[in-house]
Amino acid sequence: MLMKASSQSLTEQLSARFAQRIRDRLLAPGARLPSVRQCAQQQGVSPSTVVAAYDQLLALGMVEARKNRGFFVRESRGETAQALPETATGQTAMRSYTPIDATALIRGMFHKVGNKPQPGMGVFPPEWMDSTFMPAAVRKVTSTQSLRQFSLGYGEPLGDSGLRRMLSNRLATLNVHAAPENIITTVGATHALDIVSRTLLRAGDHVMVEEPGWAVEFARLTAMGMRLLPVPRRAEGPDLEVMARYCEAHQPKLYVSVSVFHNPTGYCLTPGSAHRVLQLANLHNFHIVEDDTYSHIAPEHASRLCALDGLHRTIHVSGFSKILAPNWRIGFLAAHPSLIERLLDTKLLATLTTPALLEKALALCMEQGQLHRHAERIKTRLGAARSRSVKLALNAGCAFAAEPAGLFGWVDTGVDTDDLAQRMLDQGYLLAPGALFHAQRKPSTLMRFNFATTQDAAFWKKYSELVRRM
């Protein structure tokens, strides 16, 4: 809250607050600031104070005034949206994610708003993932005689062979059959997705992406010069009619999918939809990269494109950051033998190697069953948290746009969630507004929230109070 007793004037405090949010990318380039009247009401100050604060931001070059429209975060040259060809739905899409947006979204993942549990975060709370088995495994690995051997060289190009054997066994339980030599370890799942994109695509290629979908993936692909083709994601899977029209009109090279516990909706692909997607891939000659990031909290029997396809046109991507810790950057990809050498070349050009010490420690945890037991505990805890969070959300007036499942709730708030997110930020809460999950960023009343971090009734009380005022 703004402090009247502060050594700074209310104008200076308000200007500094907006300036910091712009620097932290919590207000992205092109974002509209609240109107003078709205801001004055929200902050409990006079309109003249807001006008003076906005004038300071104008003088700093951080915002610009647009006639009859208001104040907007300034966009540097090269950051404005670029038009794409007409989409299969007959509308002209826009490149609304640019290289600066990519870093903005990633920086948002690192930004710490406060000490409260954050509804918009995409990971489990730290206390859920706190364990002793990973540190113990690292100590054991570093105390062996083999430490000198693997730490003084580059290691194995594909990744630690012991970990790849364990990953092969793990994938087999999901009916995805990949030999250790057809698995490549990476620095997290995002790195695996990047390797696939840089190997299979060239600037200007069309890529089908699920909408709503993962904002960072939209930003990353756009930064590489790809042309995004948003496919509406339904409960049973992607909109197959839209996919078919895209295939006829644009000959896409790749389809990026989260089949199991889709982010942000929590949807799981049905077998029938999976078969039809694979038929389209075979008919129109495109690859599918299946991001299975949430596999550790998902049912093993869930339908996966990679299982049905046998890794012919599909590439399986996953990692351990969600289940262990965001900073534990171990991921992997599994692909058909005909692609492995090309994918490996891309990995070597980018990173040369991956950290063998952490990979060996993880392999030990998997071999001893510690990771499996940890994942089962997380699933049980998440189930209970989801039940509580759903009740709190419904009591606060949210309407679920998708059946609650997995880590995230996807709800309709009835108000502009970009505006709501800024208001909640004043209360110390970071939200994930629906606009973030669309390839063409536009106002949305939808919001994603984390079941694990929304157990506090105080958050929902503040949420409902602000929604009623909007």
Task: Give the span between the Cα atoms of 306 and 454, in whole angstroms.
Answer: 33
Task: Give the span between the Cα atoms of 318 and 125, in whole angstroms.
Answer: 20
More confident position, 97 or 374:
374
Task: Give the span between the Cα atoms of 211 and 213, in whole angstroms.
Answer: 5
Q: Which of 337, 345, 339 is nearest to 287 (CA)?
A: 339
Give mean pLDDT, residues 185-203: 96
pLDDT tens sequence across 271-280:
999 999 999 9
Q: Is the pLDDT of residue 91 over 60?
A: no
Q: How confident is the model at residue 464 (pLDDT cuts 50, 70, 90)?
A: very high
Give mean pLDDT, residues 406-418: 95
Give mean pLDDT, residues 237-249: 97
Surface-to-core class of residue 126, CB atoms within 10 Å of its CB (0-12 exposed, 13-18 middle, 19+ buried): exposed
Q: How confident is the model at residue 44 (pLDDT cuts 50, 70, 90)?
A: confident
Q: Is the pLDDT of residue 326 over 60?
A: yes
Most confidently predicted of 27-31, 100-104, 451-455: 451-455
CB 298 within 8 A of CB 270: no
**In the sheet where 314-319 sits, what is the strand order?**
183-186, 331-334, 314-319, 287-291, 254-257, 206-211, 227-232
Q: Which of 385, 387, 430, 412 is nearest to 124 (CA)?
A: 385
Q: Is the pLDDT of residue 412 over 50?
A: yes
Length of the chain as a residue count: 470
β-strand 446-450 against 408-412: which pairing, if any? antiparallel
DSSP 8-state class, residue 117: P
Q: In 3-state terms, what secondary structure has residue 221?
A: helix
Give mean pLDDT, residues 207-212: 96
Phi, psi of 12 (to 5 degrees): -65, -40
Q: Which residues contact 11 (CB under 8 A, 6 or more apart)?
A: 49, 52, 53, 56
Domains in the chain with CATH codes: 10-73 (1.10.10.10), 117-122+373-469 (3.90.1150.10), 129-371 (3.40.640.10)
Give mean pLDDT, residues 191-204: 96
Bridge partners (DSSP) of residue 449 are 409
Q: In 3-state terms, what secondary structure has residue 317?
A: strand
Q: What is the pLDDT of residue 184?
A: 98
Tokens standing for residue 124: 């489990």
Dihedral through CA 408, CA 413, CA 417, CA 420, nearest 10?
-110
Bridge partners (DSSP) of residue 458 are none
Give mean pLDDT, residues 181-186: 98
User: Rounded mean pLDDT of the chain?
Assistant: 88
